Amino acid sequence: MTRAISLHDVSKSYIRGNRVVSGLSLDIEPGEFLVLLGPSGCGKSTVLRMIAGLEEIDEGELLLDGEWANDLLPADRRIAMVFQNFALYPSMTSRDNIGFPLRIEAPGEDPRSRVDATARMLGIEDLLDRFPAQLSGGERQRVAMGRAIARHPTAFLMDEPLSNLDAKLRNHLRAEISGLTRKLGVTTVYVTHDQAEAMSLGDRVAVLRGGVLQQVGTPRSVYSLPRNVFVAAFIGIPRINLLRGVVRAPLDGAMTISLGKQYLRLPEPLCLDHQLLRVQQGREVIVGLRSEAVRIAEPASARPGEVHITGLVEHVEFQGHEVLVHFNTGSRPALVPDLEAPRPAPPVRRRRRDSGSVLERLRHRAGTLRAGPVVALERPADDALDPAPPEGRLPGDLIVRTTPDFDLRHGMHVPLLVDLAHLFVFDQHGDRICPAPARLPDLEE
């Protein structure tokens, strides 16, 4: 048996009214594997704990199979939770740890048959008589999962269960979790900050930022058509290239997006998405280019929809099967503060006489509520058009994925071709304006 989970306008605040989750609405279908993805402190674990009943819901409602469950005791929700730190009793063997919740739920029944069946499912029969101190990290996590599975819950809640394990073991257990949850057919909500886990495990991915849901969809749709610049920057390895640009749309000439020292000339006739960019004439925007949207090639070999720019090699990362090349194209990167620096403290609200009209303040607030201060687009001084990279960030403004066949060295000038079919454009609030928001991606291409 599995169940549907629905959150309607759920909010949670702690001391001083600081909201960690704000107006979250999310419907999880029976048997679905949903991943909550986002940076540390974005409210992922708080959402999980509210579903489990370990945190009270301040506002909104939680529905389990359509029934109101805000005040339902955790034991009555028939939901099992797997914690990040295993949470095993050190004085109990693996058998006793797995069987402990069964003895609590049904004191008169013998849990051994269910414990043995669960151990066979997880391949840990030889670990049942060992104590947690005698187990490796991966073995402890299997025992913790066995404790949850043995209860035959209607839903699994997993709070970063693999974050304490090494990379090789993480990949192995990731495949095991995926196969196991699909075999059991139980609704699963999985919390992680690792996008590789999210993209490989989830039927759908829900991206959170600052307690606000940014986007929810299949891993492929979230990657192919991010709703805003935060989602685009958070999902994808290497991170998407975000460049500050200005739209130039003269009536008697070709439309271009100026990137500082170079520009992208939009091919004619303009497609519908590029035609809609005319309303951004003279405005600063954020240009997003995935590493696979740019290739190293001479202008003569350009395909339809590709435009030519050049780049200066700043850094080369050899990955074995591929190479990541960092280029300096003379562009100015757009920064995403939530990813570049620690989360800033909330500003102190004060009335200011120079803060503009009431209408201007309302417009600013609407933009902040929609996507928050995602990017830093303050206009630099004239002598700061080529600023130094932020601390901890590699030099260059454009990362290109290529094959190991190219012999590239620092300081080389290299011709590049940009595929404008994979061009993203975001406005100053960080919302996507190209491709147009109403358009759905053609995932069969």
Per-residue model confidence as pLDDT tens digits over 336-368: 776 654 343 444 444 444 445 555 544 444 444
What pLDDT, on a 0 to 100 scale, did the predictor assign at position 173?
83
pLDDT at 385 over 70: no
Nearest to 235 by CA among 187, 280, 200, 188: 200
pLDDT above 70 covers a percentage of the chain that reads: 84
Number of H helices, E strands in the chain: 11, 22
Instruction: Write out the two tokens for 242.
Output: 């975000």
Q: Quick check: helix, strand or coil at residue 206?
A: strand
Q: Could you tell me if 63 and 5 are in contact, meaning their C-beta atoms sit under 8 angstroms apart?
A: yes
| Rounded-to-integer distance, Cα 437 and Cα 273, Å | 10
- Mean pLDDT confidence for 79-94: 88
If pLDDT is split at 50, 70 and 90, which confidence band does 392 have? Answer: very low
Class of domain 5-229: alpha beta
Q: What is the pTM of this model?
A: 0.82
Mean pLDDT of the chain: 84
Nearest to 34 by CA among 43, 44, 21: 44
| CATH superfamily, with its number, for domain 239-342+395-445 | Nucleic acid-binding proteins (2.40.50.140)
- Residue extents of the structural domains in the chain: 5-229, 239-342+395-445
State how far the alpha carbon of 179 is from the alpha carbons of 116, 173, 203, in Å.
Answer: 19, 10, 13
